Amino acid sequence: MLRFSLFFLCLLSVVYASTNETTNQYSKQELNETNGTLQKNNTYIKIVYENALRDFRVGSYYDALNEFSYVAKFPDTPYFLDALYQLAKTYLAIGKRTGEKKFFWSALNYLNLYIGRGGVDDAKYFYLKALILENLGFYERALALYQLGLAKAENDSIKKDILIGMLRTAVLAKKSDLFTKYMIMLSVEKLTKEQKKEYRFIRGLSYFYQGNYENAIRLLLQTYKEYEEYLIDNPQFYYIVAENAYRYGEYKTAKQLFKRILKYVKNRDVLQKTLLRLGDIAFNSNNIHESIGYYYRLIRKFPKSKYATIAKLKLLYIMKKDKKVQHYLKKFLPDAQFLKNPQKFTLEILVKNRQNYIGFFALANFGLNVLELRSEKLMKRLGWELSLVPVKSLKYEHKEYFRRLWEPTLLDLKDPKLTCILYRSNPQFFVEIFNKSVLLHMGTVLYQCEKTKKTYIDLLKRAYEKFKDDAILYKLVDVYYELGKYSKAMQYLTKVKNRGCTYAIEYNKLCFLMQQKCSNRFTLLKNRCQKNSFYKLLFLSAAKLEQGIIDTSFVQTHRDFFVKHYKKDPVVRKYVEMLAKKMIEKEQYQKIIDLLSPIASYIKEDCFLNSILSLSYVRIGKMQYAGKILNEMNSCDNEWYHIAKAAYDDILFSKEIEGE
């Protein structure tokens, strides 16, 4: 039994040793196979990652997205963090191309995941995050992140990229002080060829936002010719290049650019704006059918978009101009509600979209209908709608549309009451939108609004602030002159830049009326006015009077002018008063009668003229004539009337005493 037990134990030992050896052999084989598989997987992931990088570089963003997403499934590989970072870059690129904000948010999420899983918050990280926020429209936050990135920049390449990003964001945020600062910082940097191209584009972009389309067009078109791939990757910028050409009036160039946008760009927002602009170009070129075609294409392709609604409003305006268009449109859009009841459609859009982008276009259509009807009730409603418009919210395309629709009817509107209702509702709206000729026409109508000319003066002041035009200053001088506010008139006259003969005459008028000692006024008159105009001769004659020299030939020569302007021109009245007083001092009574009687015969009930004449008749003993004039002057109560009456009564009293 013992012998059997020992044999059994020995057998177990041999079996165990054999089994253990076999197990060890299999474990080593499995480990080697696993290591081989992992090595094989890493190699495959590396290939996928490198393919993704290549696809990203050539612009195949969706392929790159799939490949980076695959790599990001393996957190234990050395490519995991890089894949997260590249996913953020890829989503950003897709967002820029498509214009869909969801891709920008995805980019931000992946970048946050990258930093959360151990990514490095270096300059590249801050640069990318700032770029994403810039595209989301968070310019202040983007600038702050660019600043952090700049502080961490370890090489010139990323530093220059960040500075260009800051410059671009400063333009988009309309911060001119920061733009100048970053321009100076970039001016000392040695930019790469690509960076120089983007830098040039940003300068053009800055001019565009300033409204300097002439300077912008050269820089922006150069970007189109040399760096179109940049514009294709940034469709909003491509649109700006074309829009600048449109605003500058280069319709042929703009049309070419917009057509290329339709061909190469996938951004839905840009495509819609492009179709709308192509319709505008055709309309401005008097190609109505082509214009309708583009608006129709926009409505059919993007029926629920805000730009489709704007296209409908523009089609309604075209229908008003050309009745044949209505039949044409109903054929292609048989179920379109906006064609069945245009006024209802316009009002619905206006009511639902007050003070927003679409609503301003609807307001232009509604306003046109009201201006054509000339109803006071509707004009008050239009005035109320206008009073709600924040003028600073109006974009270039709104102002352009208002001008297109309203200018002809405003130039034809001559009713002071309706014009006053309209202008007073929102004065800055009209000054901001319409050109000088329209405003001055409105001014001639507003002049009749009230005796104080308050509304008329308000328009002139606003117009001058906009145009800085001497002609408007002269109108302000004239109206204050008419109101007898000579110091106010002088205040605006001193702002005149081109000081020719008109300035010299107005300056002399005000000095003369205000009785100011303007030492250079006669010299100015002689030097600036070569021809002997009425006022030049009047002031030179007045200068002689001040020296005691009386020359009645001037009045005799220009008697008709004196008759015509005596009542309405205070300068003429003052000169006549001055001349008459001087002749009274010199006791030239007969000359006064000869000179002023013909004028007084045309100008009835003038207290000064009649008082001077009656006094002169008294002094030469023609009491009958003096009495007749005085009897017709019962309502007068001026100083010269009382002097003439006293002189007349004294003579009568003396004669009564002599008779006794």
Mean pLDDT of the chain: 90
| 650 in any annotated domain | yes
Does residue 38 register a pLDDT over 60? no
| 576 in any annotated domain | yes
Separation of alpha carbons 431 and 424, rounded Å: 12
Does residue 452 register a pLDDT over 90? yes
**pLDDT confidence of residue 228:** 96
| 67 in any annotated domain | no
Q: CA of 324: how far to CAs of 35, 289, 293, 312, 407, in Å?
A: 80, 11, 15, 16, 23
The fraction of the chain above a pLDDT of 70, given in percent, is 94
Domain count, the chain: 1
Q: What predicted TM-score, i.e. pTM, was given to this entire model?
A: 0.84
pLDDT in tens, 379-392: 999 999 999 999 99
**Helix axes 486-493 and 501-514, enclosed angle (nearest 10):** 150
Nearest to 504 by CA among 481, 530, 482, 484: 530
Does residue 56 register a pLDDT over 60? yes
Does residue 660 register a pLDDT over 60? no
| 228 in any annotated domain | no
Confidence of residue 659 (pLDDT cuts 50, 70, 90): low
Confidence of residue 39 (pLDDT cuts 50, 70, 90): low
The fraction of the chain above a pLDDT of 90, given in percent, is 72
| 426 in any annotated domain | no
pLDDT in tens, 597-622: 888 888 777 888 889 999 999 999 89
Does residue 324 register a pLDDT over 90? no
**Contacts of 537 by beta carbon, 8 Å cutoff, 6+ apart:** 554, 558
What phi, psi does 225 have (nearest 5°)?
-75, -35
| 509 in any annotated domain | no
| 238 in any annotated domain | no
**pLDDT confidence of residue 40:** 53
pLDDT in tens, 81-114: 999 999 999 999 999 999 999 999 999 999 999 9
Nearest to 168 by CA among 254, 230, 99: 230
Does residue 11 register a pLDDT over 50? no
In the predicted model, what is the mean pLDDT of residues 509-537?
88
- The CATH number linked to 650 is 1.25.40
**pLDDT confidence of residue 522:** 85
Contacts within 8 Å (CB) and 24+ apart, 485-490: 486/510, 486/513, 486/514, 487/514, 490/514
| 416 in any annotated domain | no
**pLDDT confidence of residue 656:** 78
Domain interval for residue 579: 546-659
In the predicted model, what is the mean pLDDT of residues 496-521?
91
**pLDDT confidence of residue 8:** 42
